[in-house]
C-alpha cells in the first residue's frame, strides 16, 4: 500500500502489553502497510510512550501519543463505569489533528490475522463509521438491545470502527453523550458501546463480522450459521480481525478457547520482538 493508514488506540497502563501484541500481529501480517499509530491516553508513563515510539518505528510506522489533561473532560460522567477512555474514542474528532480525516479504531484485545487493506479503503458511502454486529445464530441480542435502548437497528460492536473523522467532528459531542448517560443510567451495560448505538447507530455502515470483527468466543455460531463452511481453515484464511471479546482475556490463565494458543504464540513472538529493542 502506498496510502498512509491512521490507526487509533485508547488504553491505560494496564493494556500496554496487549496493545503491543495487537500491533505486532498487524505489522507481521500487513508488511506493506505503513502509517501512524495514534494513542490517546491520560496516564501512560513517558518512558512507556518513548519505548512504544521506538518499537513502532522499527516497523516503519510512526507513533504519536496524545496525552489528555485532567481537566479536558470537566463535567463528563467519569465514574467507575464510565472511564475517560470511553470518551477518547467517541470524541476522537475533537482530539486528533485536523489533517486526520479517516481513522481505524481497534481495541487492544485483538489479533490481526490477514490484510486490513479492504477495511481501510472501504467506501463509507456517507456514513459516520463502519462497524460490525455480533449476531450469533439467531441475532436475538439485537432485538433485546432495541427494546433496552429504544433503537431500530442492529447492535454494533465498538471494538473495531472505521471512522470518518470529519463527520465525527460534526456529529459527536460530549453534551449528547452525557445526556444519554443521564437518561439510561444503570441500564447501560457496556456504557461506550451502548451510547454509540443509541446516539449514532443510525449513522453506521455494517461490515461483516466474520471478516472484520470475529468474536473468538463464537466459533460454533459462525460454523452453524455458515452451514459448516466457516471452519477453522476458512477463518484463518479469510478473517482479518480476531477479537477476544468478554471479560476473560487470552493473556489470563483462566482463558481457554480454541484460539487461546494462537494468541499465546503471538504473545511469545511479540515479547521477543520487544526485548530486541
- Mean pLDDT of all residues in 266-273: 98
Cα–Cα dist 133/85, whole Å: 22
DSSP 8-state class, residue 69: P
- How many domains is the chain built from? 1
- What was the pLDDT predicted at 134? 87
- What was the pLDDT predicted at 74? 64
Cα–Cα dist 275/16, whole Å: 14
Cα–Cα dist 130/158, whole Å: 10
Q: How does pLDDT run across 74-98, given as a tens digit for each residue? A: 666 654 555 677 778 999 999 999 9
DSSP 8-state class, residue 228: T
What CATH number is attached to the domain comprising 269? 3.90.550.10
Helix, strand, coil share (%) of the chain residues, nearest 5: 45, 15, 40
Cα–Cα dist 12/42, whole Å: 7
What percent of the chain is modeled with pLDDT above 70? 86
Residue range(s) defining the domain that contains residue 67:
4-275
Q: How does pLDDT run across 208-254, given as a tens digit for each residue? A: 999 999 999 999 999 999 999 999 999 999 999 999 998 899 999 98
Q: Lowest-pLDDT range, 131-145, 181-195, 257-271?
A: 131-145
> What is the side-by-side strand order in the sheet with 214-215?
110-112, 241-243, 214-215
Amino acid at each position: 500500500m502506498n496510502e498512509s493508514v491512521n490507526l487509533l488506540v485508547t488504553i491505560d497502563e494496564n493494556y500496554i502489553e496487549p496493545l503491543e501484541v495487537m500491533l505486532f500481529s498487524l505489522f507481521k501480517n500487513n508488511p506493506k502497510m505503513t502509517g501512524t499509530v495514534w494513542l490517546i491516553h491520560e496516564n501512560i508513563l513517558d518512558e512507556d510512550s518513548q519505548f512504544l515510539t521506538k518499537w513502532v518505528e522499527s516497523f516503519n510506522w510512526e507513533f504519536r501519543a496524545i496525552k489528555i489533561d485532567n481537566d479536558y473532560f470537566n463535567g463528563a460522567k467519569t465514574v467507575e463505569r464510565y472511564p475517560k477512555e470511553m470518551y477518547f474514542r467517541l470524541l476522537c474528532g475533537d482530539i486528533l489533528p485536523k489533517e486526520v480525516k479517516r481513522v481505524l479504531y481497534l481495541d487492544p484485545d485483538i489479533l490481526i490475522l490477514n490484510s486490513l487493506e479492504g477495511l481501510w479503503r472501504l467506501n463509507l458511502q456517507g456514513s459516520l463509521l463502519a462497524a460490525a454486529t455480533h449476531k450469533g445464530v439467531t441475532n436475538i441480542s439485537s432485538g433485546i438491545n432495541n427494546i433496552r435502548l429504544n433503537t431500530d437497528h442492529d447492535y454494533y460492536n465498538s471494538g473495531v470502527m472505521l471512522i470518518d473523522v470529519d463527520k465525527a467532528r460534526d456529529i459527536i459531542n460530549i453534551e449528547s453523550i452525557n445526556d444519554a448517560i443521564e437518561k439510561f443510567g444503570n441500564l447501560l451495560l457496556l456504557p461506550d458501546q451502548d451510547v454509540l448505538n443509541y446516539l449514532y447507530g443510525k449513522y453506521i455502515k455494517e461490515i461483516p463480522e466474520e471478516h472484520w470483527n470475529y468474536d473468538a468466543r463464537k466459533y460454533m455460531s459462525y460454523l452453524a450459521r455458515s452451514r459448516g463452511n466457516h471452519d477453522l481453515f476458512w477463518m484463518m484464511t479469510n478473517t482479518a480481525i480476531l477479537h477476544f471479546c468478554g471479560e476473560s482475556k487470552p493473556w489470563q490463565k483462566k482463558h481457554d478457547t480454541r484460539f487461546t494458543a494462537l494468541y499465546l504464540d503471538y504473545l511469545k513472538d511479540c515479547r521477543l520482538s520487544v526485548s530486541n529493542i
